[in-house]
Amino acid sequence: MGTSTVKDIAEKLNLSVATVSRAINNKEYVKEETRQRVLQALKEYNYVPNEIARSLKLQSTKTVAVIVPDICEAFFGKIIKGIERTIAYREYSIIVADTDEKKENEKRYLDMLFQKRIDALVFATVDLSGDYVKNYFSSFPIVFIDNIPELEDVDCVVIDNAKASRMAVEYLIERGHREIAVIIGSVKETTGYARREGYLDTLKQYEIPVDPDLIQYGNYKEDAGYRCMETLLKQRKEHPFTAVYVTCEMMTFGAIKAIHARGLRIPEDISLVGFDIQDRAKLIFPSITTVRQPESVIGRKVGELLLKRLDEKDSGKHTSEKILLEPYMEEGESVKPINGR
């Protein structure tokens, strides 16, 4: 399927390229008859616009990039789908980059994408300093998801992480739990910090004293979840707890394994609330009660914000937007109610 150019068409029709271009782009000032002749010829000579040439001229590539730490996580997959669905009608397409959770790769991609002159970026960064990305703030609009770097005035779409913790902890408290352990990611990341705040606030609200030893910190990986849980289990005599709330997916898995490794059962011996657990097949046993994020909504909101920024393009400054979405609980069988005490 070779293709022809505007010039080819113009020659065949004895028109100028300008007229053909106008006809193609449905611009004004083209006689209806001429337009029809052009449209006809486009088909006949198998014309497909060269988006590259157009990009060069218009200084816009109609391309949005999405950088994520791991494309295999369904969480990001769903968000990407949501974005795609939202911006597709405007003819934007998406370049996906997978950083493997590495800062070096973030840099590499940022440079590469700028060279490709993307129109906008959606960024789930692992570099909370934002040191490198801020070089690009003036180059194209950027919307952050998942983690927000410690920078002023950034656009982002995230869930209310404090609220997520509040929901999880209240869920447990309502079922009679008062000694609640928690496993948290780095408080240097927003996802870690806010989730801890929510936990602490809720305990305070219910006048439950905080035992610092019941708060364990990991690095979001499964191993860390395992180790944190082990620590909790070892010190359980001195620092008893009836339930544990794990604030991210992989650490939840690790924690569960650690519990099983000790020969303990969920929820009989320990109740557990997880985070971001997606059990498509409902095959995990026992099924996990978990905090969930509305991925498709996140995707849609990101898409909408993107389009807004794209339209504002150099039409002056704007204030940054922080869009907070609601997390929700998905109930499984991993929490056992405690009757009184």
**Cα–Cα distance for residue pair 289/12, rounded to 1 Å:** 67
Residues 6+ apart with CB under 8 A from 108: none
Asked if 233 contacts 257 with a C-beta cutoff of 8 angstroms, the reply is no
Candidates 11, 12, 34, 186: give the one binding DNA (CB under 7 A): 34
Q: How far is the CB of 138 from a copy of itself (least distance, A)?
A: 6
What would the x/- binding string for a copy of itself be over residues 200 to 239, using CB under 8 A?
A: ----------------------x-----------------
Q: How far is the CB of 228 from a copy of itself (least distance, A)?
A: 16
Q: Is position 190 an interface residue for DNA (rule: CB under 7 A)?
A: no
**Cα–Cα distance for residue pair 161/327, rounded to 1 Å:** 8
238 binds, among DNA, a copy of itself, none (CB under 5 to 8 A by kind): none
For the chain, the residue count is 341
Helix axis angle, 32-44 relative to 17-24, nearest 10°? 90
Q: Is the peptide bond before 267 cis (omega within 30 degrees of 0)?
A: yes
Going by the DSSP 8-state scheme, the letter that residue 175 receives in this structure is T
What would the x/- binding string for a copy of itself be over residues 251 to 290, using CB under 8 A?
A: --x--xx----------------------xxxxxx-----
> Based on CB atoms, which residue is closest to a copy of itself, 2 or 212?
2
Interaction residues for DNA, span 53-82 (CB under 7 A): 53-54, 56-59
Q: Is position 315 an interface residue for a copy of itself (rule: CB under 8 A)?
A: no
Residues 6+ apart with CB under 8 A from 265: 259
Burial of 65 (0-12, 13-18, 19+ CB in 10 A): buried
Q: Which two tokens stand for residue 249?
A: 């997916």
Alpha carbon distance, N-terminus to C-terminus of the chain: 76
Candidates 45, 49, 70, 308: give the one binding DNA (CB under 7 A): 49
Q: Is position 50 an interface residue for DNA (rule: CB under 7 A)?
A: yes
Q: Is position 80 an interface residue for a copy of itself (rule: CB under 8 A)?
A: yes
> Based on CB atoms, which residue is closest to a copy of itself, 100 or 312?
100
Identify residue 269 by its one-letter amino acid code: D
Interacting residues toward a copy of itself by CB under 8 A? 1-3, 48-53, 55-56, 61, 63, 70-72, 74, 77-78, 80-81, 84, 91, 93-98, 100, 111-117, 135-139, 222, 253, 256-257, 280-285
